Every structure is written in C-alpha cells, then in structure tokens.
A = this chain, B = another copy of it.
Amino acid sequence: MKVGETVKKTWEISRQISDASTGQKNQALEEIASRLKQHEEKIIEANRVDLEELKKKEGYSKAFQDRLFLDGGRIEAMADGLKDIISLNDPVGEVTSMWKRPNGLQVGRVRVPLGVVAIIYEARPNVTIDAAGLGLKSGNSVILRGSSEALNSNRALVEVIQESLEAVGLPRYGVALVEQADREAARDLMRQDRYLDVIIPRGGPALKKTVMENATVPVVETGEGNCHVYVDESAEVSMAVPVAVNSKVQRPGVCNALETLLVHESIADAFLPEALEALRREGVEIRGCTVTRKYHGEVKTAEEEDWSAEYLDLVLAVKVVKSLEEAVNHINTYGTGHSESIVTSSYRSSREFMQKVDAAAVYVNASTRFTDGNVFGLGAEMGISTQKLHARGPMGLESLTSTKFIIYGDGQIRE
C-alpha cells in the first residue's frame, strides 16, 4: 500500500479512536499486552530474521544490534509498559477551565485528541509498542514508520496491535505501519498534511533536518541534548563532583547526559582536580579549555566544535568561566535547550540560573539525567521535545492532546 493510502485509511477511522471511551482504550491496551505474550514466539521469530539480515551487512555497532534484539524478557517489558499506560489518567475530556461571560455564554476548554499522530523512529521495536500505547490511550490514531532494519519485528508487533484493536471492537487501522523503507516514502509521509496532525521524528540531527526541510505536517522535534552542568563559585564540592560524574557517566548514550561541564574560576582549584580525577576513573575522555588543562595531565585541548558537540559517549568538554553570566551565555549559545543544571549554595545564583537559562528542563543541585517522563511523574513518554511550541520537555499523554473551546448559550447573537 502506498504511504498516502495507509495514512488516509487511518485518518478515515480516526474519529472512532478519538470517540472511544477510556474503558475501551484500556481494554485495547490490555488485549495488546496479553497477545504480545501469546504471540511471543512469532515475534521473536520475526526479530531473528531482522537480526540475521543485519549480520549480512556491515557497519552496525553492537549497541545497534542490542537495541534491535528481542527476547521473552523484553517482550514482557513491553507488556508491562502498556500496563503502566493503562494506569495513567486519560487526558481526553478534561475540561481544563470554564467561565461565564457577561452575556451569559459559558465558555470553556476541553482536552481532545490531536487526531492522527505519525512517528518516525530508529530500529527499536519497543518504541512501536510504547508509541502505539501512548497514542491510543490519548485517543489518537498512530502511523508508525520504523527503520528498515526492524521491519519484520515491527510487522509482527503491528499485526498483534491490529488484531487486538479488532478484538475489542475498534478499527484495526487505529495503528498502521508504513512499510516502505526508502527516503522517498519518509518524505511522502511528512507531506500528508491533509491527514496528519503532527509528526514526531525520533532520531539524529540528519533526520531532524530532513523533517524540518520537507515536512508540511506540524513537527515536534525531540531528543537532541547538548546538556551542561555549571558549578557555581558557591557550590559544595562534595555535591558538585557526584552530580557532574552522574550526569556524564550514568548512561552516556542518551540525550539528557552531560556534554559540557562549566566551572566558575573561583572554585576551579577546589573542584577540578577531584572532579577530573573522578571522571578519568570512570573512563571519561576530557577535552578542556586552557585553564582546565592546568589541572590534569591527561586533558586534551577543546576546540570550538567541542562546545557544540553531543558526544553521546564517554567524552566531556570542560570550560572554566569567569561568572555565572558567562556560563548562562555559553549555555544559551551552544546548548540545544534540553537539560541544564547549576550546582550552587547561593540562593541568588539559583534564581538567576533558573530564570535566564532557556531550556526544556532547568535544574538546581541535581543530575541532568532526571529529565524523563517517568522520573518526573508524567508516566511513559513519547520523546523529549526540545522545541518551544506545543510541548517542551518529556512528552506524556497530555502532549498528545489539543484543546477545543466549548461554548454553551441560550440563543445569544452578537450585536
């Protein structure tokens, strides 16, 4: 089926998904969870085909293979993820406010599904289930465009989802897979503005750029994170070292990991030797400014491009700054607006940093690694938005909704 046909088919039945009750939507998610386990073998079989195809090709890292790999435990985890989504409140139908006008009209706003949500993502089959679960729970139909390397796995998973939808009396096209793996198909998808309400690209800067250039559908950008920790002159070293180390090494390959450490010059003597040594012990390669290099023999020289780099690896840029203002300017210039943290014991510095740093998540005295829907208490997330429009930061169920104005009258006309 052509991309346009798949999208149109989904759009045509999307009102049925939007109008489904919370009970019916939860029932669908229950059904998917139980069928995932029932069809475990078939799914693992399909996944094995993908993995074997991958082995014939070159240039795929161990990490890539690991993300694609499925076994009983991982399928169980997908089902558990759906159970978590079932336990979340349904955002649809919430009247967020309502008021009365002088002419007697009652005006309010109610939360409604976006409609049809498309997601373009990497070779991670768990995203197929997460995205379908979050989309359906918030009343949206979902178009999935996974990467070619996961095609067989995704086919098997979407088959389970579609059978489950039918089993609870919902249309199977509530979730659909775009099977075409070529770039032309992706571009085609981005231009289905008649039928799609939003497209969410999850992937690297190249995908993001392609989507920005080509999409006529509204886009929510996710994921790029050049994150900073700024160690203020008043910081407690015993707090600053673990926050910096944790932000960098706890899981270096993800978007909320630390990429550049900024250090106030007055605390450099007390903080840097200990911090650099602790980071080295964790296997982190340091690229520092001239001042930083004085504090440790193994620090390489940071180039201009290091300030913009999202390493996603055990590499860290370090810069000594003269003031909080310089730190804030550095962050607002080089950062991607993801997660930024200050370590300080000064009330004033905490206020200034909070106010002036322009990012999705701004921290005082905590690791940047906390930026996550579950950790924040929003439940599972569709991604972490780094744009300012519509949704910023971890995108929970609410970010998959819109609102509409509802107005109750008694025959009012405008004079």
Binding site for B on A (CB under 8 A): 15, 18-19, 99, 101, 105, 107, 112, 114-115, 193, 197-198, 212-213, 216, 218-220, 236, 239, 242-243, 246-247, 250, 332, 343, 350, 354-356, 358-367, 369-371, 375-377, 387-390, 392-394, 402-414
Contact = CB atoms under 8 A, between A and B. Distances in A.
A99 B390 CA distance: 21
A301 to B, nearest CB: 27
Nearest to A209: B216
B243 A413 contact: yes
A412 to B, nearest CB: 4
Nearest to A410: B365
B376 A405 contact: yes
Contacts of A403: 392-393
Work out how many copies of this chain go into the complex. 2
Given A355-B19, A362-B404, A392-B402, A370 B114 contact: no
A308 to B, nearest CB: 13
A16 to B, nearest CB: 11
A390 B390 contact: yes
A393 B405 contact: yes
A15 B370 contact: no
A367 B387 CA distance: 37
Contacts of A356: 15, 19
B358 A115 contact: yes
A236 B411 CA distance: 10
B404 A360 contact: yes
A199 B48 CA distance: 46
